[in-house]
Amino acid sequence: MSDTATAPHRALGLTDAEYELIVEKLGREPNAVELSMFSLMWSEHCAYKHSKKLLHQLPTEGPYLLMGPGENAGAVDVGDGLAIAFKVESHNHPSAVEPFQGAATGVGGILRDVFAVGARPIAVLDSLRFGELDSARSRYLLEHAVGGIGHYGNSIGVPTIGGELYFEGPYEQNCLVNAMALGIAQHERLTRSAATGPGNALILFGALTGRDGIGGASVLASAELGESDADKRPTVQIGDPFAEKKLMECSLELLDRELLVSLQDLGAAGLTSSSSEMASKGGLGLDIHVDRVPLREPGMEPFEIMVSESQERMLCVVEPARVDEVLAVCAKWETTATAIGEVTDSGRLRVLSGGDVVGDMPVEALVDDCPLYDLAPEKPSAPIYPAPRRILDTDEPAAILPALLGSWNLADRRPVFEQYDCLVQSRTVRRPDDADAAVLMLPAAADGTHPAIAVSIDGSGRRVACDPYRGTVEAVLECAANLACVGAAPLGLTNCLNFGNPEKPHIAWQLSESVRGMADACRALDVPVVGGNVSLYNEGPEGPIYPTPVVGMVGRLPDAARAGRLGFAVEGDAIAFAGPFTPSLPGSELAKLRGEPLPDGLPEVDVAAVRKAQEVVREAVRRGELRSAHDVAEGGLAVALAECCIGGGHGAAVDFRGAGAAGERLLETLFGEGAGGFVLSGPRPALAALAREINLTFVGEVAGEQLTLTLDDDARLSWPLAELRAARARGIADALDS
Amino acid sequence: MSQRIRVLVRPKAGILDPQGQAVERALPALGFDGVANVHVGRLIELDVEDASRVGEMCEKLLANPLIEDYEIVEA
Amino acid sequence: MRFGVLRFPGTCDEVDAQLACERVGEAAILWHGDTDLQGVDAIVVPGGFSYGDYLRVGAIARFAPIMESVIAFAREGGPVLGICNGFQVLCEAGLLPGALLPNKTLRFVCRQVDLVVEHADTIFTNACAEEERLSIPAKHTTGCWYAPPELAEQVEANGQVLLRYAPGESFNGSLGDVAGVRNEAGNVFGLMPHPEHAVDPLTGSTDGLKLFQSIANHVGAHV
């Protein structure tokens, strides 16, 4: 007999020990329905078996925090009785299989999480990582993932206002697609998902239920599924943004009319996870009648109905007296709605079909009793990742700057973000490329000014591979720096941790160190974590991805009219470098293009000094004293200067004397990376005033149509803006057009 | 007694068909030569009680006669 | 003056259009399933993805009950403005000439574009000057305006093209760089760019406001 036949639990990803525990909790062997449900609820994706203990380190309290981790999305107070709900989630594995639908359904899923808490979605951001763009596969994934995000976000009327995009060898076989969404709600509208009130009705509304995503659980199918039955086992989930638009309007109207006791969206593990989590949070039980679930496919078995991942569905709990009104609202929005069960006080999740109980499990066993594992971290004794491929053959700064600007990690992202509607809902004050963070206005205050929120999504892979602790601290600092450059103070953070197989000691080490770094950085900045997501096992035969924590931060600024910009704007403005910035080449983009192996460790960061610099820059932006502010990131100072010139359409004359006229020290000064650096421009007296509070050096002025750097010994580097713009323009565009 | 009907909708000759052009460009890149005149349209399949009304359906909804031709085929 | 802004399942920019209209008058949202136009002075058919763009852009929305009333309103000379998906719906409904095809690049593009006002003596452009440049964002996948040769000639000869993309600005391949056309009678106008997203200095250019102001001017002068 096959292993599968004797031990189906193994085929479903459960260990023998886990199976024994299930038997103990049930007091008997589980049947097929129960086994499939346990296998999902106790999977890494749902139970966070290898990461939950680590995540407890993260700070989850703060003065503006309204809803922390554990609900569908977290939420922060943005003043005037308004809340912003937000979260980031990964959809990595589905996107590697079918990038358009994988990315689209990733957006769909995160949007549902946001309106499930009662917030109207107002923005999407995405963090994408693929292999190098000279691979046909990576070009294919890029094109289709971007297409999918645009298709879903544009169709549903939610603007995609920001994102990040990187290309590194280790993502070739395991791409990363992380989607973040934000929503707005009055405080009182924020909705929790706990099922309460025994006797209340459980209503499923949205799309019909089919066999989407059943995949592995099909080993339990009582019918033999042979080759010709492949169409019975779709593993790709297809998203329908039109259905979700109706679902969203329907859900928000139901909440506006106060018709619901609680609301939950259906995501990974479908009805199983949504229903058990609702029951768990309420400390109650649920009876689900699968024969009442409206189906898209005939003849679905109870376990299939419980594990289906068909998209665009929600669950709500409704008092019996209000069920008819709920059904009427759903009918208005052309959304199928069916009462499929009841809340009970049994503490058990029961699955019924035609009156028969086909599954009966304690809720606690499903949701809370999954064993959590300690990691066994061990710092690797040898490098895990090969050195990046050498692309650059020159040491001449004159050639290096255009090469960096044209490299895939730095090139113009316009061909990507122009595929996204960034304007719908009329809130967008800073569009992609205008500034370091996206800015959305909030309703006007009494005096007519509009406060605004700022949001940025920033992750790091290669530098976290160099130093998981410091690399992660840098990523959190960079996100906060981006907010500072538009004048926003951070209110909360969401994170997605993308890592390899945590059962391997070196990956466990990466994960532990990264979470430790995130916790320390968040505490140092006083930014709480409102929620997030973990994606593990991102590795293949060629090895693991770079350890990639992705951070999304939301902040607030008091006056949208004063939101910062990154481009040099006025001839004659002074230019200054500010902050505790210490450039270093190892682990930088230049080092990557030169094919240098990853260093073991990154330089220390003075987090307190960086925080201070961010505050000073933020306040100066708020006072309207700066014409531009730009965080120094990949490519160092020279690239940041070029971006300010290109962004504003003005050249600059900048003094770099003191670093030599040639050689490594000059390259380090121009292209070295690290946290805490800002390029500022504006009237000289305003910048001078900042020098009292932070390191600030005047380095030149906005002038003409060239970027000119003066070096030692009367040496000069000069590039016409047109040349720099052209160098930057083709990198991504060429890959998408080929 | 219901009949299964197929309606093929295609862009009118001479109309800009960027989808057809994109496919025509993509095929040689995959090693398929000797392909020309590619056009991309739509297939609509329906069970109908009265097949004589399908033409009217096409004129009114299924095709836009300004820019599309349609062909009714019994499946 | 009151605008009526239509809402179909899948419409996205109706609230934005309503906000823009409210800068020059009052505006109500009209539900697709109703037939009552509530006595409004002008109709706006907004942008979005009505009915998911299924079958053909605008093909299903054009049969909505509210559209029967809009068609009657237009036949009696009422001003009707169609934006993006609205333009597509009005073409499908036969209220405007031509049709919208997929962009020549086959991709959705969201970009601020310069438009040139071809005629300023109309219901929709009287607040502009002839040859004035308007900076307005366009965001669509299916915005390539097309008409068969005879119809296209007629449209041009009648001066029905009110807005054209400035040279080099079009990304969709529209015949004659047409950005917006009116019907023969001059009371129905459709354009692919989104004037409702160019009305607030906080979010960018305010050139789009002129189109809404023009309609308000016209209604005001014809009370």
- Residues in a beta bridge with C2: C26
> What band does A221 get if pLDDT is binned at 50, 70 and 90?
low
Element (H, E) at A302: helix A302-307
8 A C-beta contact, residue A266 and residue A74: no
Chain B CB contacts of C56 under 8 Å are: 64
Calculate mean pLDDT across residues A433-438. Answer: 97
Instruction: Give me the pLDDT at residue A661, please.
Output: 86
Note whether A1-51+192-370 and A565-738 share their fold.
yes
The ipTM estimated for the assembled molecules is 0.97
CA distance C110 to chain B (A): 19
| Cα–Cα distance, A286 to A187 (Å, whole number) | 28
Q: Tell me the C-alpha distance between A270 and A204, whole Å.
A: 11
**Candidate from A94-98, A169-173, A494-498, A593-597 with smallest mean pLDDT:** A94-98
| Three-class HEC string of chain C | CEEEEEECCCECCHHHHHHHHCCCCEEEEEECCCCCCCCCCEEEECCECHHHHCCCCCCCHHHCHHHHHHHHHHHCCCCEEEECHHHHHHHHCCCCCCEEECCCCCCCEEEEEEEEECCCCCCCCCCCCCCCEEEEEEEECCCEEECCHHHHHHHHHCCCEEEEECCCCCCCCCHHHEEEEECCCCCEEEECCCHHHCCCCCCCCCCCHHHHHHHHHHHHHCC
**C155 Cβ contact partners less than 8 Å away, ≥ 6 residues apart:** C97, C98, C147, C161, C181
Give the model's pLDDT for residue A352: 98
Asked whether the predicted pLDDT for residue A501 surpasses 70, the reply is: yes
| Alpha-carbon span C122 to A171, nearest angstrom | 56
Question: Is the CB of residue C105 less than 8 Å away from at least one CB of chain A?
Answer: no
Q: Within 10 Å of residue A29's Cβ, how many Cβ atoms?
A: 11
A210 neighbors A217 (Cβ within 8 angstroms): no
- Mark yes or no for CB contact B19/C173 under 8 Å: no
Q: Do C144 and B22 touch (CB under 8 A)?
A: no
**Helices A505-525 + A607-622 axis angle, to 10:** 50
Tell whether pTM > 0.90.
yes
**Which residues lie below 8 Å from residue C22, measured CB to CB, with a gap of 6+?**
none
Q: Is the pLDDT of residue A225 over 50?
A: no
pLDDT above 60 (res A2): no
Instruction: Reply yes or no on whether the pLDDT at A213 is more than 90.
Output: no
pLDDT of residue A4: 52
Q: Which residue has the tokens 């000014």?
A: A449
Average pLDDT of chain A to the nearest whole number: 94
Beta bridge partners of A357: A352
Over 70: is that where the pLDDT of A220 sits? no
Q: A11 pLDDT band (50/70/90 cuts)?
A: confident
CB of A719 closer than 8 Å to CB of A706? yes
**String of DSSP letters for A266-277:** --TTHHHHHHHH
Q: Which two tokens stand for residue C203?
A: 């979010």
Residues of C within 8 A of A156 (CB-CB) are 12
Q: Rounded to an integer, what distance in angstroms lies between the CA atom of residue A525 and that of residue A504?
A: 32
Q: For the domain with range A565-738, which CATH number is right: 3.40.50.11540, 3.40.50.1580, 3.90.650.10, 3.40.50.150?
A: 3.90.650.10
* Cβ contact, residue pair C104, B18, below 8 Å: yes
**What pLDDT score does A394 carry?**
94
Chains interfacing with C (3 or more CB pairs < 8 Å): A, B
Q: What confidence score (pLDDT) does residue A215 get? A: 64
Residue contact C146–B16, C-beta within 8 A: yes
Q: Is the pLDDT of residue A227 over 70?
A: no
Mutate to test the interface with C, among A423, A434, A441 (most CBs of C within 10 A): A423
The set of residues, in sequence order, having a beta carbon less than 8 Å from that of C40 and lying 6+ positions away, is C2, C3, C4, C28, C30
> How far, in Å, are A1, A14, A30 from residue A20 at the CA level?
21, 10, 10
> What angle (nearest 5°) sits at the alpha carbon of residue A180, between those of residues A282 and A122?
90
Distance CA A531, CA A209 (A): 28
Residue C75: the pLDDT is 98
At residue A219, the pLDDT reads 53
Strands (E), A620-676: 628-631, 652-655
C101, C140, C170, C178, best to mutate vs chain B, most B CBs in 10 Å: C101
Active site residue A91: yes
Which residues in chain C are contacts of B62 at CB distance < 8 A?
A: 55
Residue A64: C-alpha distances to residues A190, A193, A493, A525 (Å):
14, 21, 12, 14
A322 pLDDT more than 70: yes
> Could you say which of A91, A289, A450, A650 is catalytic?
A91
Environment class of A35 (CB within 10 Å of its CB; exposed 0-12, middle 13-18, buried 19+): buried
Query: Nearest CA to CA, how far is C121 from chain A (Å)?
Result: 29
Q: Does B18 touch chain C (CB under 8 A)?
A: yes
Backbone angle region of A158, left / alpha / beta, with phi > 0 → left and psi within -120 to 50 → alpha: beta
Return the CATH number at C117. 3.40.50.880
Closest Cα partner for C173 from C195, C141, C148?
C141
Tell me whether residue A127 is exposed, middle or buried, using C-beta atoms within 10 angstroms of its C-beta: 0 to 12, 13 to 18, 19 or more: buried
Whether B2 and chain C come into contact, CB under 8 Å, resolves to no
The answer to whether B18 contacts C105, with C-beta atoms less than 8 Å apart, is yes
Q: Which positions 332-361 of A are in contact with C (Cβ < 8 Å)?
A: 333-334
* Token reading at A261: 């006791």
Question: Cα A461 vs. chain centroid, distance in angstroms?
Answer: 14
d(CA A234, CA A232): 6
DSSP A103-148: HHHHHHHHHHHHHHTTPEEEEEEEEEEES-TTSHHHHHHHHHHHHH
Which amino acid, residue A239? G
pLDDT band at A624 (very low <50, low <70, confident <90, very high): very high
Closest by Cβ to C16, choosing from A419, A420, A425: A425
In this structure, are residues B57 and B50 in contact, taking their beta carbons and an 8 Å threshold?
Answer: no
Task: Report the pLDDT value the prediction gives residue A223, as an integer from 0 to 100.
Answer: 45
Q: Does C212 touch chain A (CB under 8 A)?
A: no
Q: What angle is formed at CA A312 by the lines to CA A419 and CA A8, rounded to 5 degrees?
A: 115
Give the total number of structural domains in chain C. Answer: 1
Q: Which residue of C has its CA nearest to B13?
A: C148
Put simply, the answer to whether C49 touches A560 (Cβ < 8 Å) is no
**Interval A62-67 mean pLDDT:** 96
The two tokens of residue B59 are: 């004129």
Q: Which residue has the higher pLDDT, A605 or B14?
A: A605
Cβ neighbours, 10 Å, residue C121:
10
* Token pair of C142 as six digits: 């299916």
Question: What pLDDT digit, counting tens, does each position of A323-341 carry?
Answer: 999 999 999 999 999 999 9
Residue of A nearest to C85 (CA): A155
| Cα–Cα distance for residue pair A660/C68, rounded to 1 Å | 76
In chain B, the largest separation of any two C-alpha atoms, in whole Å, equals 47
Contact C52 A242 (CB under 8 A): yes
Chain A residues touching residue C9 (CB < 8 angstroms):
242, 245-246, 333-334
Q: What is the mean pLDDT of residues A248-271?
A: 95
**End-to-end alpha carbon distance in chain C:** 9
| Cβ(A114)–Cβ(A183) below 8 Å | yes
Q: How far is CA A610 from CA A552, A565, A677, C157, in A?
A: 19, 20, 8, 65
- Could you read off the pLDDT tens digit of each residue along chain B, which spans 75 residues? 899 999 999 999 888 788 888 888 888 888 999 999 999 999 999 999 999 999 999 999 999 998 999 999 987
- The pLDDT value recorded for residue A736 is 85
Mutate to test the interface with A, among C11, C12, C29 (most CBs of A within 10 A): C12
Q: Which of C141, C172, C202 to mutate to test the interface with A (most CBs of A within 10 A)?
A: C202
User: What sign does the dihedral A254-A257-A259-A261 (CA atoms) show?
Assistant: positive
SS3 of residue A542 by DSSP: coil
Count CA atoms within 13 Å of residue A533 on its CB side.
29
Q: Where does A1-51+192-370 sit in CATH, by number?
A: 3.90.650.10
Split at pLDDT 50, 70, 90, the class of A232 is very low
The strand order across the sheet containing A74-79 reads A65-67, A74-79, A82-90, A176-186, A120-130, A160-167
Write the residue in C99, C102, C173 that is nearest to B66 by C-beta. Answer: C99
Question: What ranges do the domains of chain A cover?
Answer: 1-51+192-370, 565-738
Q: Do residues A524 and A608 touch, judged by C-beta distance below 8 A?
A: yes
- Residues C83 and A544: their CA atoms lie apart, in Å, by 48
d(CA A322, CA A197): 13
Q: Provide the residue range defining the domain that includes C41.
A: 2-221
Residue A48 carries which DSSP code?
A: -
Give the chain B residue nearest C88 (alpha carbons): B64
HEC sequence for A6-33 = HCHHHHCCCCHHHHHHHHHHHCCCCCHH
CA distances from A601 to A274, A469, A586, A591 (A): 42, 9, 9, 14
Q: How far apart are CA A479 and CA A488, in angstroms?
A: 11
The rounded percent of chain A whose pLDDT value lies above 70 is 96
Given pLDDT bands bounded at 50, 70 and 90, which one contains residue A222?
Answer: very low
Active site residue C84: yes
Q: Which chain C residue has its CA at the smallest distance from A240's CA?
A: C52
Segments of chain C with pLDDT less than 50:
none
Question: What sign does the CA torsion over C169, B16, A422, A463 have?
Answer: negative
Q: What is the mean pLDDT of residues A681-703?
A: 96
**How confident is the model over A71-85, as pLDDT tens digits?**
999 999 999 999 999
> Which residues in chain C are contacts of A424 at CB distance < 8 A?
12-13, 16, 139, 197
**N residues, chain B:** 75
Residue B3, chain C, CB below 8 Å: the answer is no
Say what the pLDDT of residue B19 is.
87
